[in-house]
Structure 1
Amino acid sequence: MSDEPAPLGAPSIRNLVLLAIPAIIIGVISALLLWTLDRLAEWLQQGLWQALPDALGLSRESPWLTLGVLTITGLAVGLVVQFVPGHAGPDSATTELDTPPPRLREVPSIALAVLISLAGGVSLGPENPIIAINGAIAVALCARFVKVVPGKVAILLASAATIGALFGTPVAAALVLTGTVAAVRGGGSLWDKLFLPVAAAGAGALTMHWLGSPPLAFDVPAYGGPSPFDFVTGLLVASVSAGLGILAAFVFPYIHRAFHALRHPVLFTTLGGLVLGILGIVGGQITLFKGLEQTGELIANPGDYSTGQLALFTVVKIVALLIAASAGFRGGRIFPAVFVGVALGLFFQSTIPGMPVGLAIACGAMGVVLLATKDGWIALFIGVALTGDMTLLPMLCIIVLPVWLLVTKAPDLAVKAPATPQR
């Protein structure tokens, strides 16, 4: 055997096994932090939306409750952004899933801002902030205790672990990170590079399952099998969904600029909370919050909502997403985008005779997520994961191709970060 060292990118089996230990630890820690944030948000949410109205003698569906809680939520987040050390990190409108993590001293303020946003009913998910938090903590821990793990690798592991925990499976992380690791030059197979991220993602996903977090899949009638008509209707739903996302991406910078023209976070987040409260009154409380549980409500009981209501939910949620992301709230855009896609898919399913529910849901979610992430793998994954039906995959793989041509040159659902971050 040659003593020549393995080429860059082709680590030895021994190194992979040894590095898998910190990868798994990062996976468990990342999942625990996500679970803790979720539980704290749920506890605060129950206080705001259940205990508070009961104490005040208000109906939990009262429009005054919706308006008041969201306005106060905006004020609270604005106070954190403007006055708390760390200023809640970078504006979430300017961040993506792979954005470099913030400085460690910004983490407490980010956690506080996203906790308030999640509990207060803001239409943003936890994904961007919790990936940022876990990335910053992973880098700090590895620099202190496991110096053999470089900072860039620690960030990759924390991202993979958090994505695995968010979606309940390491497959999501493997798909999302395939493009990232494939772009890295050097020898070795793709799975040499994915080995450690998948280990971290698997640990994160298993930890969330052991902690009792529900899986992403919902109970949807079986698809049955593909037909030419399904391609036509599925492409229609996915294209309209992606088109709605393109329209949102086009107006996003203008809405963001309008809110930030007020200059002070307390002003623009409070105004944002007020607008979100009005939207919540118009669309109902199902259009509030990050959207995952509300997506389950739509899928479980599609017959409870008229075609007009589904259209209203779609429009209100996409506007609420834009307002929340523009007005300085901290959170991610994928989970609310999924709600938008599912509501739109069910709208088309209610108007197109014989369209399978699973196909409508999957195509609706896939279109807008494809625009939101510019990643075909995660869009396909979410389409299948929502329904839990692998028989949809061949049809989705064909439908995603023309939809990708539609979104690939479209603007991103993000805002370019200013040269000097606004505090």
Structure 2
Amino acid sequence: MGNARTLLLLTLPAFVVGVASSLLLIGISRPAEALSHLLWLHDSPWWTLLLLTLGGLLTGLILWKVPGHGGPDPATEGLVAPPVPLTAVPGILLALSVTLAFGVSLGPENPTILANVALATALGHRFLPRVPDRAWTAFALAGTIGALFGTPVAAALLLSEFSSGDETPLWDRLVAPLAAAAAGALTTHLVAPDQTFTLALPAYRGFQPIDLVSGSVIAAAGCALGLCAVYALPRLHRSAHRIGRPVVLLTLGGAVLGVLGMIGGPITLFKGLEQMQELARERTAFDAPGLLLIVAVKLVALVVAVAVGFRGGRIFPSVFLGVALGLLAVALVPAVPPVLAAACAAMGVCVAVSRSGWLSLFIGAALAGGAELLPVLCVAILPAWLLATGRPEMRVEAVASPDPG
């Protein structure tokens, strides 16, 4: 009974953290979106080059001048990182705002989680010191994931992969974080209800045995594509960081992203959520060579953005990569259902990049817009997971920070 009372008492602060996590995400994303609408009035290749170069310069200045230097190098961290000092939070959020507004191929997830974990841990330690730091971290992570995906299910699945280090039953560990995730998701639905992962593709025509084969092949291809990024990141990161000054490195990196944007077009810019919806809606306007170009450009842009130090997450652009690859598969083999191809390819890419089977499976189901494809996805993820098993993660070993400037 005492344990139930403890769990019940933890749900209230968890709920508060979930709401706050969602509000911080919305409070960063919406102004950045508004700024991007102002910045991207011109749709010319040279304007793309100019804005991304300027975005690199601004990010470099933030990493140089703002306390905390924008937090840890994102290339050295996974989805969850240790809490950072509160003084680093403004720089993290400023750098993320530049990423979102200036069209960098990264999403909001990692910096938002980092900021929410820092705030929840610091404030929680002050007002409820008996609650351990790992609990505040779990609340902030769950709340942010719930807000990002609009459902607590993704957070519950992700948290189930982490070990608590003790014999606490799984659901005892999940009750309070699930409350945080639900609060984050509900807050997002109330304040920003227009974000959706479901693709505007023809409904699944129903299961056929061949879907197990095509889905598995496409998921494995997505994983192989993601592994290209995994293996390329450390090499490019090592080469890029020979430039010892973040301002110079980020400006050059922004210029490279600008050139890539000129080649791939506007659809290869930004985090990829709105762009993958556009790709799905207008899929007949893209032929196989065009889709191959989009995949290649977005893959390189993702690796470059992470390697040079732009602040942002890898999940959203990975999902876009998967959707583009899935539609490329349909362009090559029209008999494959588009929703199956997109969901399986995105799932495969996310397996390689996130190394989270549950999160990848959830993303595939979310893109499909229902549970009808779930049995096929559960089979299709297996070859992708086997391909990724034993491979390195998409991160590099932390290196000494260069002198700013």
For Structure 1 versus Structure 2, the TM-score category normalised by the shorter chain is over 0.9
Q: Give 1:276's match in structure 2, choosing from 243, 252, 257.
A: 257
1:131 aligned residue: 113
Counterpart amino acid of 2:206?
G
TM (normalized to structure 2)? 0.97
- Contact 1:41–1:118 (Cα < 8 Å) also in 2: yes
Q: Of 169, 172, 184, which aligns to 1:204?
A: 184
**After superposition, where does 1:89-128 map in structure 2 within 5 Å?**
89-128=71-110
Matches within 5 A, 1:148-227: 148-180=130-162, 182-187=163-168, 189-213=169-193, 214-227=195-208
Indicate which of 341, 351, 361 corresponds to 1:370. Answer: 351
Note if contact 1:224-1:391 (Cα within 8 Å) is conserved in structure 2.
Answer: no
Counterpart secondary structure, 2:373: helix
Is contact 2:154–2:362 with CA below 8 Å preserved after alignment? yes
Q: Which runs of 4+ in 1 moved over 3 A?
A: 419-423
Preserved CA contact (<8 Å) 1:259 1:268: yes
Q: Structure 2: how far apart are the matches of 1:309 and 1:375?
A: 30
Q: What is the match of residue 21 of structure 1? A: 12
How far the C-alpha of 1:420 sits from its partner, in A, is: 5.5
Shift of 1:218: 2.7
- Aligned partner of 1:53 in structure 2 is none
Contact 1:168 1:216 (C-alpha < 8 Å) held by counterparts: no
Shift of 1:387: 1.6
Which of the residues 58, 63, 78 maps onto 1:76?
58
Q: Distance in 1 between matches of 2:12 and 2:164?
A: 25
- After TM superposition, give the deviation of residue 353 of structure 1 in Å: 2.9
Opposite residue 134 of structure 1, the aligned amino acid is N
The answer to whether the 8 A contact 2:245-2:402 is kept is no
- Corresponding residue for residue 416 of structure 1: 397
Q: Partners of 1:379 and 1:263 in 2: how far apart?
A: 36
What are the superposed Cα offsets for residues 100-127 of structure 1, whole Å, 9 maximum, x if unpaired?
Answer: 1211110001111110111000001110
Query: What is the rounded CA distance, in whole Å, between the counterparts of 1:312 and 1:62 in structure 2?
Result: 18
Letter in structure 2 aligned against 1:200: A
Over 3 Å counting, the alpha-carbon distance change for 1:304 and 1:422 in structure 2 is: farther
Q: Give the letter aligned to residue 212 of structure 1.
A: A
Of 293, 313, 318, which aligns to 1:337?
318
| 318 and 422 in structure 1: CA distance in 2 versus 1, 3 angstrom threshold | farther
Is the contact made by 1:235 and 1:399 (CA closer than 8 Å) also made in structure 2? yes
Q: 2:26 aligns with which of 21, 28, 35?
A: 35
Query: Of the two, which has the highest radius of gyration?
Result: 1
| CA distance in 2 between partners of 1:421 and 1:96 (Å) | 21
For the residues of structure 2 that align with 1:297 and 1:328, how far apart are their CA atoms?
A: 28
Residue segments in structure 1 that go unaligned for 5+ positions in a row: 1-5, 51-59
Q: What whole-Å deviation, never above 9, does each CA across 1:53-86 have from its counterpart, x for those lacking one?
A: xxxxxxx221110000000100110111122211
State the one-letter code of the partner of 1:205.
A
**Aligned partner of 1:99: which letter?**
A
Among 215, 218, 221, the alignment partner of 1:237 is 218
- Partners of 1:138 and 1:154 within 8 A in 2: yes
* Mapping of residues 263-412 of structure 1, within 5 Å: 263-412=244-393
Deviation at 1:422, TM superposition (A): 6.5
Q: CA deviation at 1:225?
A: 2.4
8 Å contact from structure 1 (residues 376, 404) kept in 2: yes
1:331-378 deviations in Å (ceiling 9; x for gaps): 110000111110000000111131101110111100110011111111
Aligned 8 A contact 1:241 1:367 in 2: yes
Does structure 1 conserve the Cα–Cα contact (< 8 Å) formed by 2:71 and 2:84? yes
CA distance 1:422–1:358, change in 2 (3 Å): farther
Deviation string 1:364-417 (CA, Å, 9 cap, x unpaired) is 100110011111111110001012131111011011112111001112111111
TM norm structure 1: 0.93
State the Cα deviation string for residues 3-37 of structure 1 (Å, max 9, x = none): xxx7xxxx622111111100000000000000000
Asked if the contact 1:74–1:269 (Cα under 8 Å) also holds between the matched residues in 2, the reply is yes
Provide structure 2 residue ranges, at least 5 long, that are not aligned to the other structure.
Answer: none
Q: Is the 8 A contact 1:223 1:389 kept in 2?
A: no
**Counterpart of 1:321 in structure 2: which amino acid?**
L
Shift of 1:322: 0.4
- Aligned 8 A contact 1:279 1:316 in 2: yes
Structure 1 Cα separation of the partners of residues 357 and 402 of structure 2: 31
Q: What is the rounded CA distance, in whole Å, between the counterparts of 1:363 and 1:198 in structure 2? A: 27
Structure 2 CA distance for aligned equivalents of residues 353 and 21 of structure 1: 51
Q: Decide whether the 8 Å contact of 2:272 with 2:317 is kept in 1.
A: yes
**Distance in structure 1 (CA, Å) of the matches to 2:241 and 2:136:** 33
CA contact (8 A) 1:234 1:360 kept: yes
Greater shift, 371-380 or 297-306, is seen at 297-306
Q: 1: distance between equivalents of 2:242 and 2:399?
A: 13
1:116-160: CA deviation from partner (whole Å, max 9, x where unpaired): 111000001110000000000001111122223221110111001
2:229 aligned residue: 248
Using the TM superposition, give the Cα deviation of residue 205 of structure 1 relative to its aligned residue in structure 2, in angstroms: 0.3
Quote the sequence identity (%): 49
Question: Is contact 2:139-2:176 (8 Å) kept?
Answer: yes
